[in-house]
Amino acid sequence: MEDIHLQKNVSLKPYNTFGIGAQAKLFTEVDTLTRLKSLLTDKGLAQERKLILGGGSNVLFTQDFDGLVIKISFKGIEKIREDDQYVWVRVGAGEVWHDFVQYCIEKDWAGVENLSLIPGTVGAAPMQNIGAYGVEIKEVFASLEALHNTLQEVHTFTKAQCAFGYRESIFKHEVKGQYTILNVTFRLNKQPQYNIAYGAIQQTLDAMKITELSIKAISDAVIRIRSSKLPDPKKIGNAGSFFKNPTVPNTHFEKIKVDYPHMPAYPMTEETTKIPAGWLIEQCGWKGKRQGEVGVHEKQALVLVNYGAGKGAEIKQLAHEIQDSVKARFDIMLTPEVNFI
């Protein structure tokens, strides 16, 4: 253990985008597989609860963590092969997601430009199957390597093995807590296929007077949209979208539409329709509502915020109240994207 510095009673405020000042009994950062393995197998730490932490953009600390928090800081972006159409790039799990997106744009590698400015790290991206503006990570995902925390073996997961769904993967269900993602390999396009149909991308491109499409132009448009609607975690604590957009049976959708004919919606299958969670929350009067040091963002009802001294338990309570009101009015139970710790 000589090469790993364990800190005691560390504030986690700098390590989560909500800015919650919960404390970790023990804390360390790791940037090599050897160090990670020695931490997970050290007999002196065997009885400690362990939490693997990436960018902290998808967690809500509702209390102090009585155990060891391991911050993953694996770095590196490496082109491993290419052909006429694609380039395969292996990226360390600790790389900042947006920095990786900008790197791809500089290299003219297409496929992730619609995912600009999403907070968090590369390693967390496949866990959540992150998505925005009509694109999900599964569309550019090739494989990942992850350490089995108990067996101490590095396993490779293909796209099929990851069982991607809407903000879902095998890492949130069947093998939750069993693996630590080390790196992710993406298959990016040399010839871009622009996706500008979703949201206000085309409208924003027009406002920016963009006449010639490029992946940089799309990225710039997405950054402008997100910056106008979503608060910067460096200025006001938040984790982006707090709830998933619910998918409901068409029969239920039609029932709601009687009272709300202008309700926004997106057909998913022949039997189901997706309704924006932010719209549902706004209809229940939550947009801009503040309860002490926590609240719902004034521009985007899907974002819960910490105004500075808020506690995770207060945000959790607010989330439950929002869920109850949406359930009472629309008979829809919202599911959090954020993990409660």
Instruction: Examine the residue annotation and report whether 167 is marked as an active-site residue of this protein.
Output: yes
Query: Tell me, what DSSP letter sits at residue 26?
Result: E
Marked catalytic residue, from 73, 143, 219, 241: 241
31, burial (CB in 10 Å: exposed 0-12, middle 13-18, buried 19+): middle
Q: Which two tokens stand for residue 21?
A: 């000042």
65-72/49-53 β-pairing? parallel
Marked catalytic residue, from 167, 187, 224, 226: 167
DSSP 3-state of 86? strand
Q: What are phi and psi of 168, to 5 degrees?
A: -135, 155
Instruction: Examine the residue annotation and report whether 241 is marked as an active-site residue of this protein.
Output: yes
Instruction: Examine the residue annotation and report whether 337 is marked as an active-site residue of this protein.
Output: yes
Closest CA to 228 of 245, 247, 208: 208
- For the chain, first and last CA: distance in Å? 27
Kindly report the number of other CB atoms within 10 A of residue 234's CB atom. 9
Residue 83 Cα to chain centre, angstroms: 30
Q: Which two tokens stand for residue 223?
A: 């950054």
CB 16 within 8 Å of CB 59: yes
CB 126 within 8 Å of CB 162: yes
Cα-Cα-Cα-Cα dihedral sign, residues 138, 142, 147, 150: positive
Helix axes 215-229, 97-107, angle to 10 degrees: 150
Cα-Cα-Cα-Cα dihedral sign, residues 316, 55, 91, 37: negative
CB 332 within 8 Å of CB 249: no
Q: Which residues pair with 136 in a beta bridge?
A: 131
Which active-site residues does the annotation give? 167, 241, 337
